Structure 1
Amino acid sequence: MHVAVTVDDREPAGVAETVRGHTDVTETTVERLPAGDLVVGPVGLERKTPRDYVNGVMSRSGPDLYDQLERLAECYDHAYVLLEGDVSAFDSLRTSVDPTAIRGSMASITARYGVPVIPCTDRRRLVDFAVRLGRKHTEAPSSRPLPVGSVPSRSEPTTKRMYGCIEGIGPELAATLYDAYPSMAELLEASVADLEAIEGIGERRARAVYEAIRAADR
């Protein structure tokens, strides 16, 4: 499926060039957007370099990220923040902000605002992921749907759905974890012993959950 993409006219020229070079993009428009940096179908996307992200979260310079998230939610059916870089880039930034706190803010924004923050390594991969998101939110579902219960229902709390999407944690275990730890921040603070104390979670499963959560937070 091919898509049309709109790029905000305040973005660097290289962004529109990368969009035009994508094989699945049939039309590229550059104009002033009411929110976001890229629009693909019903999807609005905010593009951030690691430094832009830190400045936006901490409101140190430039637009406040939380204001941008609110405008995205108002203007588009689906909203995402895509990082033009890797999470490891936060470790090398010359800033007084602890990289752990920055990664925590990514989890917080995803859980509390319902806007996923996704690292995309570089600009080419960011544009490719944006195009794929637009396609997936537009095209008809696959003719081979996943079994009922394999994916958490949209009616469930965002954090609970997040737990269910982490590799090794299905809907049933996600519900158990959510009852004990209603926020990702609380779950990240839990030790293996804390998890093992939850009814129905043994030592092996507790350790698997502990490692899976930290792998997802990296």
Structure 2
Amino acid sequence: MRVAVTVDDREPAGLVEAVRRHADVTEVRVERLASGDLAIGSVGFERKTPRDYVTSAVGRAGSDLTDQVERMATAYDHSYVLLEGEFADLESLRTTVSPASIRGSMASITARQGVPVVPCTDRRRLVDFAIRLGRKHAEDPTTDRLPVGSVPSRREPTTKRIYGCIEGIGPELAATLYDRYPSVEALLEAGREDLTRIDGIGEVRANTIAAAFRTDGTRE
């Protein structure tokens, strides 16, 4: 499935170009958005660099991220804050804000406002993740029923539950995968040989895991 993306006209040209280069984008519109920096259908995204995030979420200057998130929640059915960086980037900034306060703000926005805050490493991965999210929200959910006990409890981390939904994995292997790759981004960076080194994952399961995150059905 391919999607059309709207980019706010105040965003840098490099972001627009990264969206245009993505293979799953059919159209890119550059115009003023009432809220968010990217929009795919009814899904909105606020893009933040590490410094932008700290300034707007817990700093004393700049825009108010809480207000931005509230406006996105009103404008879109689904909203996300995507960071163009990693946790380490947030914590290495020269700022008076403590790393604990930064992590706390991310947890607060995710839990209390219902808008996930997701570190995406760099711009290319941020764009790719946004497009994957927009596409998933637009797709019709599968009607196939999963076997009882095949997916970890809802109390488990979301990433572990995602792993448990992969065909042939289940809770035990999902926990093993989650211990090794606590984010989907980390799992996507792993090669098939890395996966087959995990006890219980052979070549067939490694191919299945790789294919689960590729919509074109290809396997590495």
- Provide the residue aligned with 1:62 in structure 2: 62
> Residue 193 of structure 1 corresponds to which residue in structure 2?
none
Q: 1:45 to 1:145 in 2, by over 3 A?
A: farther
TM-score (norm 1): 0.69
**Separation of aligned partners in 2, 1:109 and 1:56:** 12
Q: Do 1:84 and 1:126's aligned partners in 2 also have CA atoms closer than 8 Å?
A: yes
Which residue identity lines up with residue 112 of structure 2 in the other structure?
R
Aligned partner of 1:128 in structure 2 is 128
Measure, in 2, the Cα distance between the counterparts of 1:145 and 1:22.
33
Is structure 2 residue 167 aligned with structure 1 residue 167?
no
Secondary structure of the corresponding residue to residue 160 of structure 2: coil
Match of 2:108, SS state, is: helix
Amino acid at match of 2:88: S
Q: What is aligned with 1:189?
A: none
Secondary structure of the 1:70 match is helix
Residue 48 (structure 1) aligns with = 48
Partner in structure 1 of residue 88 of structure 2: 88
Q: What pairs with 1:116-155 in structure 2 (closer than 5 Å)?
A: 116-142=116-142, 144-147=144-147, 150=151
User: What corresponds to 1:101 in structure 2?
Assistant: 101
Q: Which moved more, 1:59-68 or 1:36-45?
A: 59-68
Q: Which residue of 1 aligns with 2:113?
A: 113
Task: Confirm whether residue 25 of structure 1 aligns to residue 25 of structure 2.
Answer: yes
Secondary structure in structure 2 of the residue aligned to 1:137: helix
Q: Counterparts of 1:2-41 in structure 2 under 5 Å?
A: 2-41=2-41
Deviations 1:163-197 (A, max 9, x none): 452638xxxxxxxxxxxxxxxxxxxxxxxxxxxxx
User: How many percent of aligned residue pairs carry the same amino acid?
Assistant: 64
> Are the equivalent residues in 2 in contact too, given 1:111–1:162 (CA < 8 A)?
no
Q: What are the Cα deviations for residues 82-132 of structure 1, in whole angstroms up to 9, with x where unaligned?
A: 000001112210001111210121111111000000000000000000000
**In 1, Cα distance between equivalents of 2:13 and 2:72:** 22
**Superposition deviation, residue 14 in structure 1:** 0.5
| 3-state SS of paired residue (1:88) | helix
RMSD of the alignment, in Å? 2.8
* Shift of residue 162, structure 1, vs aligned partner: 6.3
Aligned residue runs from structure 1 range 174-185, under 5 A: none
Q: Which blocks of at least 5 consecutive residues in structure 1 are unaligned?
A: 153-160, 169-207
Q: Which has the higher contact order (CA 8 A, sep 6+)?
A: 1
Does structure 1 retain, via aligned residues, the 8 Å contact 2:59–2:97?
no
Structure 2 unaligned regions, length at least 5 = 162-174, 184-220
Q: Which amino acid aligns with 2:31?
A: E
